[in-house]
Amino acid sequence: MKPVIALVGRPNVGKSTLFNRLTRTRDAIVADFPGLTRDRQYGDGRLGDRPYTVVDTGGIGESEEGIDRPMTDQALQAVGEADVVLFLVDGRAGLTAADEQVASELRKLPKPVYLAVNKTDGLDPDTALADFYGLGLTELFPIAAAHGRGVRGMITEVLKAF
């Protein structure tokens, strides 16, 4: 089986950077300002002989969505289509209220959710993770999508379930 991996998280955490790394393309636009990837974007990748599909999303957790609606329709659709969800947070910014809202939605899902703590380049990985244990997700990975740190190990774990 070729699992579908959805990348979700608030703007600017590095979803498109991770998408590009996982698909070895530059198709997803990486921006210094939030909210640029407005629609879902699909790409294929493989780890060794294991193929997978990745879905990049934008717009999740933007303020106009409001506190009662932490995820946009297209992020919810991506999550609905996926076999596994990769929830990205920013290890430099630390935990935010939007992260907590998204996590509470994702915890209800009947599918695996992995937490990727991104931008840990130059940070102590254990310290970077400490902020996020309270989200109630059990699988946490310190990564740096821009440099590749931790990405291969995380995807190896994600693919083990399939």
Which listed range, 67-75, 102-110, 114-122, 126-134, lies at the site for ligand GDP (CB under 6 A)? 114-122
Nearest of 149, 93, 107 to residue 8 by alpha carbon:
107
Q: Which residues of 102-124 are buried (b: 16+ CB within 10 A; e: fewer)?
A: bbebbeeeeebbbbbbbbbbeee
74, HSE (Cβ side, Cα atoms, 13 Å): 15
Among 32, 49, 64, 126, binds ligand GDP (CB under 6 A): 32
Q: Nearer to ligand GDP by C-beta: 101 or 118?
A: 118
* Residue 4 structure tokens: 């579908």
Does the annotation flag 143 for ligand binding?
A: no
Please say whether the dihedral angle defined by the alpha carbons of residues 124, 71, 82 and 24, taken in this order, is positive or negative: negative
Question: Whole-number minimum distance, CB 42 to Mg ion, in Å?
Answer: 14
Beta pairing, strands 41-47 & 50-56? antiparallel
Is residue 37 part of the contact set for Mg ion (CB under 5 A)? yes
Which listed range, 11-19, 84-92, 108-116, 142-150, lies at the site for Mg ion (CB under 5 A)? 11-19
Which listed range, 15-23, 81-89, 114-122, 133-141, lies at the site for Mg ion (CB under 5 A)? 15-23
Q: Nearer to Mg ion by C-beta: 33 or 108?
A: 33
Is residue 144 part of the contact set for ligand GDP (CB under 6 A)? yes
DSSP state of 30: P
Is residue 11 part of the contact set for ligand GDP (CB under 6 A)? yes
Among 9, 16, 141, 155, binds Mg ion (CB under 5 A): 16
Does the annotation flag 10 for ligand binding?
A: yes
How far is the C-alpha of 75 from the C-alpha of 59, rounded, in Å?
A: 8
Q: Which helix (H) or strand (E) holds 51?
A: strand 50-56
Q: Which residues are annotated as a binding site for GTP?
A: 9-16, 56-60, 118-121
